[in-house]
Amino acid sequence: MAYIISGNAVSQNIKNELKVEVAALKECGLNTCLATVLVGDDAASHSYVKSKIKNCEELGIVSRHFGLPKETSQAELLELIDSLNSDKSVNGILVQLPLPSHIDEDTVINAINANKDVDGFTPVSAGHLLIGQDGFVPCTPAGIIELLKRNNISTVGAEVVVVGRSNIVGKPIANLLFRKGQGGDATVTVCHSRSKNIKEHALRADILIAAIGKAKFITADMVKEGAVVIDVGVNRIGTAENGKAILAGDVDYVEVEKKASYITPVPGGVGPMTIAMLMKNTVKAAKIQNRINIT
């Protein structure tokens, strides 16, 4: 049976470290601030933003939330982002995705000041990641690397297979894994919806990362004995009697757990790490903008 990697435990450790940094910044007269922007009334998005605000409060980070009606125009949203870019009291800007269909997500993301891009989605952040420069890394991939590091799982020379090629997870985690240094130096294969013989690729993996957005897509016959399995997926597969969503990852957890050496659960695995790394990026942004080095 696999060792279960607790994202809850690791994320709490990271947040405890960040509390110290936030307090140190306050002693320097600086209040770390994250601005969240939500357009519309999507229930899942509301839940995500609420969690981010709660984590800010827990760490002593100032949270400024802007809830806009779904009818908000693209021009109005861009005007708000421009004002937040100019506001020196705001260190990080997060626009919750997805946006309503009449708003172009790329245009909105590109409008965010790269120094406040705590989601790590702007072309500047993507470019820094691609060429191995320091910058803001998308939160979920950054969280995966922290899970591996803090569980002493070496990536050096490892065969890593990533199933999924999104800009949010698949592409950036691949770039992180083959960078030089700790948490990198891996041999990386990226599979996607047009890949042939995904099972054949997956069976080579020392570390298998599932981020394809299909419930229980990775089955036990696709996993090498003793592999490390990181499940990024969160898929709603039903509703419990109490009205809560029944969730499943991209991995058939019950069967794969029997073969893996390490595995992340859903929920409680990668999810908590995403928010922890958002908080970490926000603190990093505050330090960069104020040219303060606190470790």
Catalytic member of 52, 171, 259, 280:
52
pLDDT, tens digit (0-9, with 9 covering 90-100), for 54-106: 999 999 999 999 999 999 999 999 999 999 999 999 999 999 999 999 999 99
Nearest CA-CA partner of 96 in 287, 275, 289, 276: 275
Confidence of residue 294 (pLDDT cuts 50, 70, 90): low
C-alpha angle 51/256/215, rounded to 5°? 50
Residues 278 and 295: their CA atoms lie apart, in Å, by: 17
* Among 200-204, 218-222, 290-294, the least confident range: 290-294
42 is catalytic: no
Is 139-271 CATH 3.40.50.720?
Answer: yes
pLDDT, tens digit (0-9, with 9 covering 90-100), for 221-263: 999 999 999 999 998 888 777 878 778 999 999 999 999 999 9
Residues 131 and 134: their CA atoms lie apart, in Å, by: 9
Per CATH, the homologous superfamily of domain 27-130 is Leucine Dehydrogenase, chain A, domain 1 (3.40.50.10860)
Give yes or no for residue 19 having a pLDDT over 90: yes
DSSP assigned state of 156: T
Catalytic member of 117, 119, 231, 252:
119
pLDDT, tens digit (0-9, with 9 covering 90-100), for 173-185: 999 999 999 899 9
pLDDT, tens digit (0-9, with 9 covering 90-100), for 267-289: 999 999 999 999 999 999 999 99
Delimiting residues of CATH 3.40.50.720 domain(s) in the chain: 139-271
Mean pLDDT of the chain: 95
DSSP assigned state of 122: S
